[in-house]
Structure 1
């Protein structure tokens, strides 16, 4: 569960105050500061394998990309700031980012080839809120990695099963492809990525 700290703040106030030195993670959702709960070990396992596989591909292709530790994504025209589980940054476009140098925040889709959220108990944020906001930013590719099949049936089917949803931006709107079990993930950003859904979900014994 996440705990909302109910005090409306602006983006500038948020980055000036959070994150603090407690080691906790926060996001800003329409002016509301949200404290993110400590993730489970399985959640961190999934992030670890994804980060490793994508980093290897970035290095192999000699791309100007990197994965920051605590950078934020700020959508246009609202007081929000999100801290994705995995954020791929295109270093080449950072010169155009007004908030990068002082606030490690990106606001343009050209700076973010791919963003990944690993689903936890607050799955509605990933399937509703962030889906719409990342689309508004113009992020070309967004993965929702639902290793525990927590999302609603209208998103991952019935019966529910662990699913990776890959949203690709087409004419300003996201279109989705979904991958389960042994299916190879198709990524527009990394078309040669050799990774199946089961390879991710088997980490740490998530599935057998």
Structure 2
């Protein structure tokens, strides 16, 4: 079914319409970006550990009006992404149905793994275009957590926290204290 160049970590499929994408079997592990099907393998244990631990930390400080979700589809326009973690307004979730989130999350987090270029370049530009106010990237290889904010329509790093950092991070609806070494495991 998937055609095109296949790297060990990512398959880029043919151009498909949104209607064709919706006809795929239930729960494909794929994103729909610029009219292409982007298929990635299951994340590593470290990747999932980081997303889960960060989710638990954020959930402990998030207001009752917001929900922390892991690996749920976000469709801000013509594209559909699967951020590793999002903080979403519960009322917007209820209004949009359960298949995918169509509002704008307060925060999206990507844990870098196999498809680093998409998270650092392609998704970053698309997320800024969609007006996502807070974007964080956890890079297990560099052992950093970088926070971004939109400046003149593009993301600019607001801070880079290394393995030794314990930082209070603004997620828009709350502030969470993160020990980067503990988060990285």
Say yes or no: TM over 0.5. yes
TM-score by length of 2: 0.82
Please provide the CA RMSD for this pair: 2.3
Task: Check 1:18–1:143 CA distance in 2 against 1; reply closer, same or farther (3 A cut).
Answer: farther
SS in structure 2 of the partner of residue 73 of structure 1: coil
1:8 corresponds, among 8, 11, 15, to 15
Q: How far apart, in 1, do the equivalents of 2:117 and 2:177 lie?
A: 29
Moved over 6 A (4+): none
Q: Report if the CA contact (8 A) 1:18-1:26 is conserved.
A: no
> Counting helix residues as a fraction of each chain, which structure ranks higher?
1
CA deviation vs aligned residue, 1:84-137 (integer Å, no higher than 9, x gap): 111211123347x6xx2264231x43xx00000000021111100110011011
The structure with the greater share of residues assigned to strand is 2
Structure 1 unaligned runs (5+)? 150-161, 204-208
Shift of 1:70: 5.0
Give the 3-state SS of the residue equivalent to 2:60 in structure 1: helix
The answer for unaligned runs of 5 or more in structure 2 is 1-7
CA offsets per residue over residues 151-187 of structure 1, 9 Å max, x none? xxxxxxxxxxx11110112453322121112321432
Counterparts of 1:93 and 1:8, CA distance in 2 = 30
Distance 1:84 1:134, change over 3 A: same
Alpha-carbon deviations, 1:24-72, whole Å to 9, x = none? Answer: 51111212212221211111111111111111112xxx33111335532
Secondary structure (helix, strand or coil) at the match of 1:195 reads strand
Aligned residues: 176
Give the corresponding residue for 2:147.
166
Task: Tell me, yes or no, if structure 1 residue 182 matches structure 2 residue 178.
Answer: no
